[in-house]
Amino acid sequence: MDLALPTGQVVVCDPFTGLGPFAPVPFTAAVRPGRYSVTLAVASFDNDGVPTQVAAAARLSVTDAPVTGWELALVDDQEVADLGEREFFGYETDHGDVCFVDASAVSALAEHEDWLIEALAAHAAADFGLPPVKAVGPAGEEIAAFTTGRGRGFYPTWVGRTDNGDVASFVTDFLVLEKPSTTSGGPS
């Protein structure tokens, strides 16, 4: 699915606790206003004889150019130098629900909670066979929402950059495969 970013200022948060007046601020890395693709990477594994699927990561793709470097997505007043080994800045989700949204849409989309609850339940019930859910606000504001399948957690987002330093993508990592390290250089 694609997502409109009219200001190019990206916010990643829990759509039920992160939208509205107490929403997080956008990342300092911004992109040109436009429409960008959102996809999920799904991990499948055997959980004591029960086939299980969870979202391992979600990507907001800005360009098809190769990513040559990764950095932790930061908001104002955050510095990687303030982190200890294997620490990261991120966002919290109460039930494993996450969204990508343009900063300009955060307040208007806080009113879509009832519809979004049903849509995300259907997303999880389909074992992630559905694309992320798109909600549209009263003035055309959009949100790309999905469930991780992992429940409550605290997760980092990474910025992938091209060889000339442009933003190629944002990847939010649900820590399915390995705990991140601030020295690891981001997702692979």
What is the C-alpha to C-alpha distance for residues 98 and 48, in angstroms, rounded to an integer? 27
Say how many C-beta atoms besides its own lie within 10 A of residue 120's C-beta.
23
Q: Is 24 exposed, middle or buried (0-12, 13-18, 19+ CB in 10 A)?
A: middle
Taking only the tens place, the pLDDT of each residue in 100-143 is 999 988 877 776 666 667 766 766 666 555 567 777 777 788 88
Q: Is 160 exposed, middle or buried (0-12, 13-18, 19+ CB in 10 A)?
A: buried
- Give the residue ranges of the chain where pLDDT is below 50: 180, 182-185, 188
pTM exceeds 0.95, yes or no: no
pLDDT for residue 136: 76
CA distances (Å), origin 39, targets 24, 67, 143, 144:
22, 16, 13, 10
